[in-house]
Amino acid sequence: MKHLAYLNKFLYKYRWHLIPGIIFVTISNIFGIIPAQIIRIAFNLVTENISTYQLLNGFEQQPMVYSIFGSSLLLFGTLVLVLALLRGLFVFFMRQTIILMSRHIEYDLKNEIYAHYQALSLAFFRRHNTGDLMNRVTEDVTRVRMYLGPAIMYACNTVTLFIIAIYFMVSVNPKLALLSLLPMPVLALMIYYVNNIIESRSERIQKRLSTLSSFVQENFSGIRVIKSYVREGFVRESFAKESDGYKSQSMDLVMVQALFFPLMLLLVGLSTIITLYVGGVEVIKGNITAGNIAEFIVYLGLLTFPVMSLGWVSSLVQRAAASQKRINEFLHEEPEIKSINKQKQDIKGKIEFKNVSFDYPDTGIKALDDVSFSAEPGQLVAIIGRTGSGKSTIANLIMRMYDTTGGEILIDDKPIKQLNLESYRAQIGFVPQEVFLFSDTIANNIAFSADVLNMPVVEQAAKNAAVYSNIMEFEKGFETMIGERGITLSGGQKQRVSIARAIVKEPQILIFDDCLSAVDTKTEEEILNNLGRSMQNKTSLIIAHRISTIKNADKILVMDNGKILEQGTHAQLMANKAAYFELYEKQLLEEQETA
Ligand SMILES: Nc1ncnc2c1ncn2[C@@H]1O[C@H](COP(=O)(O)OP(=O)(O)OP(=O)(O)O)[C@@H](O)[C@H]1O
């Protein structure tokens, strides 16, 4: 329960929904109770009038008694109807305040969690899988909302109704009140337990369903591989197996639900039988009237749902507490990468690595080992090396996605940690190895870093990235939708849109992480020439596998196993006749073979 205390700030914020809500609950319950008393009066009237009517048999007053009796019954009936309408009206107000409050809080909480996610570091997202993160914003928040809305509403309803109904029941006959209410705690307990079973089974079904959905989603995404390897039959069988598991778990749930309602009706019926029997005996003894029995039966009817909701509410609260605990864990998680400096600053773009080492926190893999190099503003520095040699890690560290575990990175001769993170990253253009484009128009994808779309700038960036003519070939040009909602770009087109997105920022530092692999050498040359013009006085860092891409760089770093084997210009490295030279010879040979 202590985890739910976090939500009190929201309850306070929306107190002007909550307080009227509680008042409406009470009023609606009063309107629910009064009809029971009217029914008692009407019932007593019926019994008394029937005997009067019979006594006047043969007298001329008899029809008069009949008409008075009829019109008073009509009056009582109308009264009950009006009260039911009034009760309905206040139930409507109650829902409009309390349930509305829960929706407002749900909205606030979702935004708070999402904003916190955005502040957390990359390492956090590596540690948690996407499904888990999404659950926090969707399922867990929904469960918390069930506490804030229905649970609070029904708890208030149960408490007020019980106080009022029990007061009236005891004032009529304490013994009858006690005996008729006897099955109620059993009903509440039973609902609590059965509800827990239903919930846990539903949860298992939900998990099974999400496995099934992921299975189908993955197979649809990989349909080309499935078809080309003729695995349709195998996939069909696997799907049938998964579906079968889902079906048998659903059957388990149906079984509990099927038992639940008859059992509940049995207990409610038991209360009525006790009331009729004990009440009947009391009427015979003259302690109560027949109208009191009818009144009691109405009370019991009124109390049945609140008693049932008691068990339901307690399991809702339990689940909400578990969900809020998970949400709190996330909300209390501090970003590993902190920006201590609040002052925004412009950078020139000098990068210096001083004996930098780096171990990935989640795997402990040593990706960089004593790496030192520098890049001056206006220079183009290239990194080449085998896969897994640590090239992307250098890019990640320059972006300050992680902090170094050894050594230091200086930007404009200042430790990177002293820079304001947001303004620093805003001055870097990064093209990742794995291109990611949003399901949006090409223009919006390119202008992603800007708050306002400036078409001439976007078009120039597309020209520099050598993708302009491709875009113009599409019917809708820059307004073409891409991704799931639109067309599929080719690998090379995607890479160039991603490059345009980075250069549109006119960054001080530009990082290309192996993002020219899917473009032909002619286009690559065009892009690099354009870059040479637009990146004058700014720093460029290019990670590549082809020597042709980087041979004009001012400095080339040759990486292997987290270390820099050698660094220098193409000519210097060729003269060294070491790793770079060997790589050059090998690539030359491959080119000749494929030519
Ligand atoms: N997020 C990560 N968590 C844990 N280990 C990682 C992570 N990213 C990379 N590594 C590991 O760090 C090492 C260096 O990887 P890095 O991505 O820097 O290599 P790379 O030179 O860019 O390779 P490639 O040319 O294939 O892109 C590898 O052994 C890799 O398995």
- C-alpha distance from residue 448 to each of 115, 250, 474 (Å): 18, 45, 20
Is 443 in contact with 479 (CB distance < 8 Å)? Answer: yes
Evaluate whether residue 61 is within a structural domain: yes
Domain boundary among 506, 537, 563: 506
Verify whether ligand 1 is closer than 6 Å to residue 160 (CB atom): no
pLDDT at 595: 62
445/570 same-domain check: no
- C-alpha distance from residue 389 to each of 18, 517, 558, 565, 590 (Å): 59, 17, 9, 11, 22
* Residue with CA at minimum distance from ligand 1 atom 12: 367
Q: At what angle do helices 174-181 and 232-285 cross, to 10 degrees?
A: 160
CA of 226 to the centre of ligand 1 (A): 29
> What pTM was estimated for this model as a whole?
0.78
**Which of 121, 360, 560 gets mutated to test ligand 1 (max ligand atoms within 8 A of its CB)?**
360
37/4 same-domain check: yes
Percent of the chain beyond pLDDT 70?
Answer: 99
Residue 496: give the domain boundaries.
Answer: 435-506
69: CATH: 1.20.1560.10
pLDDT at 485: 61
358/493 same-domain check: no
Evaluate whether residue 352 is within a structural domain: yes
Adjacent-strand bridge partners of 415 = 410
Domain count, the chain: 3
Q: What is the mean pLDDT of residues 181-203?
A: 85
Model confidence at 594, pLDDT cuts 50, 70, 90, reads low
Q: Which residues contact 263 (CB under 8 A, 6 or more apart)?
A: 190, 194
114/28 same-domain check: yes
Residue 526 has pLDDT above 80, yes or no: yes
Verify whether ligand 1 is closer than 6 Å to residue 528 (CB atom): no
446/577 same-domain check: no
502/536 same-domain check: no
Residue 120 has pLDDT above 80, yes or no: yes
Atom of ligand 1 nearest to the CA of 122: 1
583/445 same-domain check: no
CA of 394 to the centre of ligand 1 (A): 10
Residue-wise pLDDT tens digits, 470-486: 999 998 899 999 876 66
CA of 130 to the centre of ligand 1 (A): 20
Residue 81 has pLDDT above 90, yes or no: yes
* Residue with CA at minimum distance from ligand 1 atom 18: 390
Q: Would you give the DSSP letter of residue 136?
A: I
pLDDT at 484: 67
Model confidence at 31, pLDDT cuts 50, 70, 90, reads very high
Is 150 in contact with 316 (CB distance < 8 Å)? Answer: yes
CA of 114 to the centre of ligand 1 (A): 28
Q: Which residues contact 20 (CB under 8 A, 6 or more apart)?
A: 93, 97
412/520 same-domain check: yes
Model confidence at 4, pLDDT cuts 50, 70, 90, reads very high
Evaluate whether residue 232 is within a structural domain: no
Verify whether ligand 1 is closer than 6 Å to residue 365 (CB atom): yes
pLDDT at 310: 82
Residue 353 has pLDDT above 90, yes or no: yes
- C-alpha distance from residue 69 to each of 39, 44, 51, 100, 381 (Å): 14, 12, 12, 46, 103
Residue-wise pLDDT tens digits, 281-326: 998 998 888 889 989 998 988 888 888 888 788 888 988 998 899 8
Domain boundary among 141, 165, 189: 165
CA of 75 to the centre of ligand 1 (A): 83
Verify whether ligand 1 is closer than 6 Å to residue 563 (CB atom): no
CA of 413 to the centre of ligand 1 (A): 27
ipTM, 2 dp: 0.94
Evaluate whether residue 280 is within a structural domain: no
Chain centroid, CA 292 distance in Å: 53
498/359 same-domain check: no
Mean confidence (pLDDT) of the chain? 89
Verify whether ligand 1 is closer than 6 Å to residue 389 (CB atom): yes
Evaluate whether residue 212 is within a structural domain: no
Evaluate whether residue 187 is within a structural domain: no
Adjacent-strand bridge partners of 510 = 429, 540
Q: What is the mean pLDDT of residues 391-419?
A: 94
Model confidence at 543, pLDDT cuts 50, 70, 90, reads very high
Atom of ligand 1 nearest to the CA of 393: 18
Q: Which residues contact 426 (CB under 8 A, 6 or more apart)?
A: 449, 505
Q: What is the mean pLDDT of residues 32-60?
A: 82
Whole-angstrom distance, CA of residue 205 vs CA of residue 252: 10
CA of 559 to the centre of ligand 1 (A): 12
Evaluate whether residue 104 is within a structural domain: yes
pLDDT at 9: 95
* Residue with CA at minimum distance from ligand 1 atom 29: 388
| DSSP-derived secondary structure for 418-480 | GS-HHHHHHTEEEE-SS----SSBHHHHHTTT-SS--HHHHHHHHHHTT-HHHHHHSTTGGG-
* Residue with CA at minimum distance from ligand 1 atom 31: 388
**Which of 384, 389, 394, 543 gets mutated to test ligand 1 (max ligand atoms within 8 A of its CB)?**
389
CA of 478 to the centre of ligand 1 (A): 34
**Which of 124, 363, 563 gets mutated to test ligand 1 (max ligand atoms within 8 A of its CB)?**
363
Domain boundary among 506, 530, 562: 506
CA of 367 to the centre of ligand 1 (A): 7
Model confidence at 522, pLDDT cuts 50, 70, 90, reads confident
**Which of 129, 358, 387, 565 gets mutated to test ligand 1 (max ligand atoms within 8 A of its CB)?**
387
Atom of ligand 1 nearest to the CA of 363: 4
Atom of ligand 1 nearest to the CA of 395: 18
Evaluate whether residue 229 is within a structural domain: no
Verify whether ligand 1 is closer than 6 Å to residue 392 (CB atom): yes
534: CATH: 3.40.50.300
483/513 same-domain check: no
Other C-beta atoms lying within 10 Å of the C-beta of residue 470: 17
* Residue with CA at minimum distance from ligand 1 atom 5: 360
523/540 same-domain check: yes
Verify whether ligand 1 is closer than 6 Å to residue 362 (CB atom): yes
Whole-angstrom distance, CA of residue 513 vs CA of residue 543: 5
458/405 same-domain check: no
Verify whether ligand 1 is closer than 6 Å to residue 488 (CB atom): no
Residue 399 has pLDDT above 80, yes or no: yes
